[in-house]
Each structure stands twice: as C-alpha cells, then as structure tokens.
Structure 1
Amino acid sequence: MSSIQLEKANKAKHFLFVPHGIWGHLRPAINLIPNLLIRSTEALVTILVPVAHHHLASQEFEKHNLHDHNRVKVVYYETKEDGDEKRHAKTNLQGMMVFYNDIVKMLSENYEKILKSEPIHDAYLDKEVSTHLISPNVVSVEVQTTPYKIPMCEEISKKLGKEVKMALWSSVSGNYTAWAVCDLYEGRTYRDRVEKIFQVPEADRTKAYNEQLGENENVVHVPDNAPIYVFEAQPNQPDNFLNIVLGCLPVLPRVTMIHSWPSFLGQGYKKGAADLGIKVLQMGPQLPKSSIHETELVEGALKEFLDKALNETGENSVIYISFGTLLYSANLQQLSILLDVLITLDKRFILALGLASEEIQLMAKKKIDESDGKGIWLNWAPQYPILKHKATGWFLSHGGANSTMEAMRTGTPLLFWPADVDQVWIANQFSRIYKAGYEFLQVPNGPSIGRITYTGVKVHGTEQAIRDEFTDVFGKLDDDFGKELREGIRVLGDRMDNDPFTEEDWKAFVEL
C-alpha cells in the first residue's frame, strides 16, 4: 500500500452491506449507498447482491452513477431462479427462502476474506475480484439472518482482532418491529406470546398459536399505532416469522437496528427500544428524488391509458392497484368483486397482476379486457411513474414500507389491503392516526371473520359485505372523505422530505 493509499485508508470508514436478495429489501439498500456517500465523503462501501438481480441492480447503480464508482464495490453471489437473471422484481415465498439460504452461505464463505481484504468470487463475472484495502468498520446484515450471521461475524471478527460495529438492515417499518420487540402501552408483548407458543409440545402449537395470536381478542397498543385486538395483526395468513423474531431478541442489544423508514413516524418505537437497551436508527426513505428518468412513462398502452384518462376523467381519477412483489393479498372472489365494483362505478384503474395465481390472472384479464377501456392490466408495473402521472389519484396497496414511501413522495392517498408483517401496522398508523389512507376491513380471511375490530366494525367477510364496503369507499373518493386523505398524505410527504429526526439518525449511522 502506497503512502497516499495509507493516508486515505486511515481516514476512510468501510461499510459492508449484506441485504436480503428479495427486491423489496435489496433496492432500498442500494439506494442507501448514494445517501451515505453524500453524508460521508470518506466512506467506502461493499454490497453483496444476488446474481439473479444483476439486471435490476445494475439499473439502480447506474441511476446514481455507482456502477464504476471507486468507493463502491459490488460483488454478485450465486442466486438464480430458473437459471436466469430476473427482469422483474417478483419473488414468491419459496424464492425468498432461496435468497435467504444463499445470503447465509455467501457470508459464511466470504466474511473472513473481506475482513482480510482478500479477493472473493463474483458469480456474475465468474472470477475473483478485489475488495477494499481496509477491512469493514461497520457490517450491516439482513435482519432475518440475525440468529445465524451475527454470532458468526462476531466470532470471526474477534478471532482476527478486528473491531467491527454490527448493524441489522431492515426495509420494513419500525411499526412491526415495535410490536415484535417493545413493551406495549397496553397488553402483553408479542415476545411473551411467542415464547408461550414454543413452550408447548409441537403437537399443541397450532392451538397455542390461536390462543396467543391467531384468535386472541386481547387489546394491544403498540408504540406509534392505534390500539387493535391481537387477531387483527394477521388478517390474511398465519405469522411466518415467529422463529426468526424469537431468535433475534437475544442479539438485539449487541447491534444497531437500521430501518429504511422515516424517523418521525417511529419515535415511539425508538424510545421503547432504547428503554430495552436496543439502538434504533430510522433513515428512510431510501428512494431517489424525482427526476425525468424516474417518472417518465415510455410510449405504449399504459401511457396511452393514463393520458386518455387524464383527458376524459381528469386529474387524480385513476386507481392504481398493486399488492407488491412478494405476497398477493386478494383471493379470487375478493378481486373479482373489486373489479366488478370499479367497472360498475365507471372508475378508471390499473391492475398489476404481480404474483397473482394463474386462476386469478385469467379472471382479471377477462373482466378488464371486457371493461370497455375502464381498466388495464399489467404483468409488471413501473410503479413510481404511474404514481407520478397526473391522472393517478389513488393507490390500492398491500401497504408495504417501500410502496408507502413512494405514495408519500408522490402525494398519492392509500387504500390499504394488508397481508402480513408491517403492512397491518402501517395501515393502522396511516388510516387511524394520520388520516392519510383507508384500510379495508371486510377483506381479512381466517379468524378475523365474525369478529369485531377495535374500531367497532364487524368483519363479515361475505361477498355482500365486501361489495358494500368497496362501493361505499370508491363512491366517495371525490368527496370530503377523499380530500381529507389526500391532504393527510401530502402532509406526511412534506414531513418525510424535511425530517430532522431522520437526519439525526443518519449522523449517528455515519458515526458508528
């Protein structure tokens, strides 16, 4: 190492990012890098990316001129679906586990090499590539891998005599983690309930799960959220993350939690975590600022549909429907009712098919193709340009963190149809505290049906109840009801882009 290189190395701080390979976790991790480089002019970055997402990741890196940046090392590791690079962001739960297992394998095989500044194998280039000349000072590991990766990294760092700060990367909102981690304003904690589930023999787990979570009618008041009954936390499927959360809890006081979520929305969570000795930083949104590149729609059927709607039905008239890249909230009957109501009310709408089953796709395509131009379906949708178009006025969403932040940035009110994890809590916070969206209450499945929510609404779950709710909500979007939601999301968007709490957390991250 030359004297100039040595001088630079002494000033630099090396950040290693190991996010989950699914796009909803990976994309915000990539977008964190330019934000970090702006705030820390001496920062060095290494990020590990699955080769399956090389195409999409490369596009993100190029947006920020990071593809050949001398302070950024991108290393691709082996994860492919059907042997090909992914052209769209969709990944099912089985694919999620492939990504998960490959993260664990990649880090296990290469963490010590990265600490030693030794070359590691790049699966896209199929050759050894160099790493930064100094070892990582901060390592940010995907939160789901916490029980396995944090102890391993700690052990290797200690063996090599390296002082490394460990962080957990999470693209989900702080709301869900507050439920999983913090003491509550009211009600027994999630961790207490999960521990009780795993204390019983495996044959009795289903019963214990329903008693503690699935069918439980106790009230819980999670920081930053309005009170709900426990059964409302999993509206459409059982909790998939019991084991992971329970495995994370003992490790959390030894690391820093990093969320791609606006800090002003999670101050209760941050305080509650601090009371338990857990450091939390919320540094969102990890979204690029608006630009022509980000918002321009290419010529074609989608642009023609939106431009025509703008001319015929005016601004804010189109409803964009997307349930994200991992789960699909609606079942066949529910989505069929939704489309019938929109067509009957003469609403203009865009449906992203995403991960819908083949049966749902066939039904949706037929109804939309016969709707006389009221709707358009897409296998994959360029979400941000759609939301930025003047014709788009509403976002019917699962309520994932990334989609919610895009809605805030574009000022698009949300109509929530949550499925899992943080989506329920985001829907709760935005609809009941900030009046920036509406949560559909007749669409939950399973144990919610027949029960009364904390808001006093009974979940009937029948075709008629679902139809009536859709008809009521879509029928008043242009009235005071809709105006209140539009103003609510506008206020949140302004606060998100001018958030002193987020900047404080950024400063703390840079100084780790």
Structure 2
Amino acid sequence: MTVSTGKHLIVVPMQMWGHTRTLCTLVARMVKLRNVTVAFFVITSFYDLVMAEVARELLPEEAYLSSRLRVVGLEHNIIDIMRTSVLEAAFEASYVKMLNDEPLTCARTGAQIVAHPVRVSAVILDSPSWRANTAIKMFLPDTFLSIRKHTSDTVKIYTWTPIATQVFFFHLTQDNMGAVEAEAERQGITFEQAAAQLAKVTGKVLHTPVTKPVHDYEIQPQAFPVELLGIGVKMSRIMGITDGFITFDAADYCPNTTKAIKEWFAQTSRKAYYAGPLIPQSKENVSDESHAQEVLAFLDRSLASHGEKSVIYVSFGSLFWPTDQKKLHAVLNVLMDRNIPFVMSEVALLSKRLPKEVQDKVVQYGYGLVSKWVPQQALLEHPATGWYLSHGVHNSTLETIMAGVPTIVWPIIADQPMNATYLSEDLDVAYELIEVRNGTGAGKISRNGRVPIATIDAVKAEMGEILDRAYGEDGRRKRETLQRLGKTLQEAWSEHGVARREVEAFLDDL
C-alpha cells in the first residue's frame, strides 16, 4: 500500500451546523486540489450530516480521495450546545493521541482511525476566541490554547471566520480583552457583563476603512442576550495572534474589503485567504428526510396555485431569532392577508414557537408551512421560491446570490446589519426592514437621517410597501442584478477562479 507523503491538516468547526456545513465543502475540495490529508473533527450529532455533505462534493469517480479525508466524531454536550467543555476536552485528547502516533476512535461509529505517518503542519480552527472566566464559551477558546500548549508554534493555527468580512474592522481588530477583564475584576461582575458595558451604545459614530460612518447602535439593531456580547472581544484577541485567516466569504462580493483585510494581515507578515462561495457541486440529497418531502410538496402545490417566484422563505438560520416576537407575527399576518405563500424554518437555537392563535391562523390559511427543518438549497432552487426573508447572515446570503433569489433582510446582530445595508443600497439587490428594529437600535440612521417609528403598525406598513415593490418592476430589476452578481461569484471555483487560487495558495503555503 502506498503511504501518502503529502501534508497533514486538522480542521475543527464549532458546534453549529451553519458553520460546519461550508467546511464540509472546503475540506472535500482541499483533498481534490492537493496531496493533503485532512482530519476533520465534528460533533457526533453532525456526523451523518457531514458524511452526506462531503458525499455531495466527492463524486463517485473521486471516491479514491476519501482516504485523505478522515472524519472523526467528538463527544459533546448534547443538552446545551453553547457549553463546549466536553467537546474541547475530547478534541485535546485526540490531538495528544495524534502527536503520539496513536489511533483515534470516532465517538459516533466506534471505528478506529489509524495514525497518519505525516506530522500535523496546521490547524484550521473555526471562530476561536480567547478564554475568559465564563461557563458560556461557544467559540472553542480552550481548543486554541490546547494546541499551543502541546505544540507551541510548531503547528500553525489558521482562524476560520464565516462572516461577511466587511464587519471585520468593527469587531475584530481592536484587542479590548485586558480592559474588559480589568473592569470585570474592579466591579466584581462577569466578563460578559463588563463586555456588555463596553458594547453599550452611546450614539458615537464608528469609522472603518471599508464602510460608511455609522452610529454604534446601527450595528446592534436588535436587543440580544448579554452573555453573547463578549464573543467579539474574545475573538479580537485571537486575530492578533493567529497565523492566518481563512473565510468562506467571496473575494468578489465586496472587493475593497477583501483588499483591506489582506493588507491588514500583511502588516504583520500574515495572510488572509478567501475560499467562498462554498456551494456543493451536486444536488442536495433530501430523499430520506420527511420534513424535506413535506417542504418540497408544499412548494409544488404553491407553484401550481400561485405560480413561479411566488413563495417567500422565512428563516433566521441555525442560531438567531427576532427578539420582538410580535413583529414577526405581524409580518406573517401581512403575508397571509396578501395571499402570499410562505415556508418558515423554526430550526434556530433561539427560536420560539409561534403562539397557538398564530399557528391556528397559519393552518387555516393553508398556504403557510412552519417546519423544524428545511432543505435550504433545494428550496432556493425551486421555481416557486421568489424571495428570502432572512437576518442576512452571510452563508445564507451567498447561497441566495448563487441561487438568484433576492432577499428581504431583517438584521439582528454581528455581520447582519452591515450586510443588509450593503445588499440593499450598495449592491441594490435586496430590501432592508427598518421598522423591525427595537430598543436603542431604533435610533436615527446615519446614511439617510430616517428615524424608525418601530411600532407594529409601522412594521405592517413597511412590509406591505416592500412586498408591492418586490412583486413589481423594482423587484424584477433587483433579481436581474442579483443574477449577474451570482454569475460573477460562480466563477470563483472555476479552473482559474479566485477562490480556487486562494485555497491552492493556502495549501501550498502550509
């Protein structure tokens, strides 16, 4: 048997499917591009999904490459996915075994994975953050530290950052860890509480090299759990010490941002690589999913009754959910009052069940479907799907661009507010919901002077106006513009495309 002498890479996604899914595509493409073996560590509850997703990229004639992709299931806290101590301890134990040339055991299948003869040269670690005195970690802080503890600087750590990178300079370039920790100790409060004080909006204007000036409250248009506000502070510490940066963002999505980020890393002799968009090359396999069949049957029925591009898909991803539930209910009521069919995903970790009276109205309406799981790519590619009502998280944004489905954006936090502005105004391929803002986020908008009313009636009126435009000439124009952008991004993974060149360069640089 021929033993591979190529490079050896570890990839560790965090415990959210939206983060893991794109890495499935990336690692499969890596083993196709170069002689590299990848140890891909995933939580056991994602193992089967990961294997199915990888199979979409490694076609039958490429099955011989599967030996280079070692998928290892790790134990994790199945009760509370936000607490990562079990997962990180499992990874550290596996990492030590790899360093000692011992076999690994997959916690999902029980299968032993023999030691690979090539030493590990690098780790891609998903959204690592610096450890703080908190039980809620979420973004794998101990994994970064355990790699450094056992291999110092002999193994490079690259930070995988699945965000719209135009927010990079808002959240990830200023290291405030020391200041937050000192303030937490001074006041006798938690790190998250101190971070929340730092993040408290005051109306100050923020400037970055790649965006127009905005008030601080404009990047937090929705109230959000205080315990999550410290993550950006922790991640910014990592950005100063990571060996490099790799993202699923597309270099041609916002070219001036791509240039600025590469220049920022180059100042410290590091590199940033753009691997996106990462859309699998084969169709989504939905044959064994009862929920998927229900969704696709609904789309077929809506196509027959309402025609092409009639359905609105409502989803806020795998984590986020609107903080003002009544505004969500108001939007659904507008859709039903206008006889617009919709599919809504309730898979988000922070989602809340619709009240019984809203559920009953959806059932009585007949052209609304609320599902715990949606085959998103298949839905976006269905001829009945016309619009996507989304929070504007970047993975779904890139999927909708590639599918040619324009978006109505309801931003919540993180990269979503700036993505909403960029999509709706700079690219002119989407609409942004303004009246859904709440709390301090409902302040005056710097770019146009508008002040949201932020009432339920205002939400209904705005949604109605957007639907009039979306299903009219303006919506048709936005769709055509979006489709042109999609063709540009589609070239990224062509033979000489920018994403392919970037990933090849990353592998060659290891």
Q: TM-score, normalised by structure 2?
A: 0.85
Structure 2 residue aligned with 1:413, among 406, 409, 425? 406
Partner residue of 2:137?
none
Contact 1:283 1:506 in 2 (8 A): yes
CA shift in 2, pair 1:211/1:141, >3 Å: closer
Partner residue of 2:171?
180
Displacement of 1:196: 5.6
2-structure distance, mates of 1:331, 1:203: 31
Partner residue of 1:39?
33
Displacement of 1:255: 1.1
Question: How many pairs were matched up?
Answer: 480
Show CA shifts across 1:24-50 (max 9, x none).
11111111112112221x111111111
Displacement of 1:301: 4.3
Displacement of 1:460: 1.8
Partner residue of 1:168?
159
Q: 1:341-490 maps to which residues of 2 (within 5 A)?
A: 341-355=334-348, 359-360=353-354, 362-371=356-365, 373-490=366-483
After alignment, is 120-129 or 256-265 more displaced? 120-129
CA shift in 2, pair 1:124/1:172, >3 Å: same
Partner residue of 2:251?
263
CA shift in 2, pair 1:48/1:363, >3 Å: farther
After alignment, is 224-233 or 404-413 more displaced? 224-233
Q: TM-score, normalised by structure 1?
A: 0.84
1-structure distance, mates of 2:431, 2:179: 34
Contact 2:159 2:242 in 1 (8 A): no
Displacement of 1:164: 2.4
> What are structure 2's unaligned runs of at least 5 residues?
131-140
2-structure distance, mates of 1:28, 1:210: 30
Displacement of 1:396: 0.4
Q: 2:78 corresponds to which letter in structure 1?
A: E
> What are structure 1's unaligned runs of at least 5 residues?
83-93, 183-189
Contact 1:337 1:466 in 2 (8 A): yes
Q: 2:420 corresponds to which letter in structure 1?
A: A
Partner residue of 2:135?
none
Is 1:73 the counterpart of 2:70? The answer is: yes
Displacement of 1:426: 1.9
Task: Give SS of 2:39's match.
Answer: strand
CA shift in 2, pair 1:202/1:257, >3 Å: farther
Show CA shifts across 1:173-228 (max 9, x none).
3233332234xxxxxxx656x76655544369999867754323222243444432
Contact 2:128 2:144 in 1 (8 A): no
Task: Give SS of 1:141's match.
Answer: strand
2-structure distance, mates of 1:503, 1:302: 34
Task: Give SS of 1:385's match.
Answer: helix
CA shift in 2, pair 1:207/1:216, >3 Å: farther
Structure 2 residue aligned with 1:138, among 97, 122, 125? 122
After alignment, is 340-349 or 267-276 more displaced? 267-276
CA shift in 2, pair 1:508/1:284, >3 Å: same
Q: 1:509 corresponds to which letter in structure 2?
A: F
CA shift in 2, pair 1:29/1:273, >3 Å: same
Displacement of 1:271: 3.6
Q: 2:11 corresponds to which letter in structure 1?
A: F
Contact 2:287 2:293 in 1 (8 A): no
Contact 1:16 1:140 in 2 (8 A): yes
Task: Give SS of 1:369's match.
Answer: helix
Show CA shifts across 1:107-160 (max 9, x none).
3222232133321232123364323221211211122245543343234224xx
Displacement of 1:351: 1.4
2-structure distance, mates of 1:25, 1:141: 11
2-structure distance, mates of 1:292, 1:259: 23
Show CA shifts across 1:72-104 (max 9, x none).
11111112525xxxxxxxxxxx42x23x33342
Structure 2 residue aligned with 1:287, among 264, 279, 284? 279
Task: Give SS of 2:277's match.
Answer: coil
Task: Give SS of 1:44's match.
Answer: strand
Is 1:120 the counterpart of 2:104? The answer is: yes
Contact 2:44 2:75 in 1 (8 A): yes
CA shift in 2, pair 1:379/1:250, >3 Å: closer
1-structure distance, mates of 2:196, 2:285: 48
CA shift in 2, pair 1:345/1:307, >3 Å: same
Contact 1:448 1:459 in 2 (8 A): no
1-structure distance, mates of 2:192, 2:390: 30
Partner residue of 2:90?
106
Show CA shifts across 1:363-399 (max 9, x none).
442221121x332222221111111011111000111
CA shift in 2, pair 1:16/1:206, >3 Å: closer
Task: Give SS of 1:316's match.
Answer: coil
Identity among equivalent pairs (%): 23
Contact 2:74 2:91 in 1 (8 A): no
Is 1:26 the counterpart of 2:20? The answer is: yes
Displacement of 1:23: 0.6
Contact 1:450 1:460 in 2 (8 A): no
Partner residue of 1:236?
222
Q: 1:111 corresponds to which letter in structure 2?
A: Y
Partner residue of 1:492?
485
Q: 1:511 corresponds to which letter in structure 2?
A: D
Task: Give SS of 1:260's match.
Answer: strand
2-structure distance, mates of 1:467, 1:284: 36
Show CA shifts across 1:266-287 (max 9, x none).
4144245235425211101222
After alignment, is 204-213 or 274-283 more displaced? 204-213
Partner residue of 2:143?
149
Displacement of 1:325: 1.1
Partner residue of 2:507?
510
Show CA shifts across 1:447-476 (max 9, x none).
123544533221221111111111110122
1-structure distance, mates of 2:76, 2:242: 30
CA shift in 2, pair 1:124/1:250, >3 Å: closer
Displacement of 1:495: 1.7
CA shift in 2, pair 1:148/1:296, >3 Å: closer
CA shift in 2, pair 1:67/1:359, >3 Å: farther
Partner residue of 2:213?
227
1-structure distance, mates of 2:390, 2:352: 20
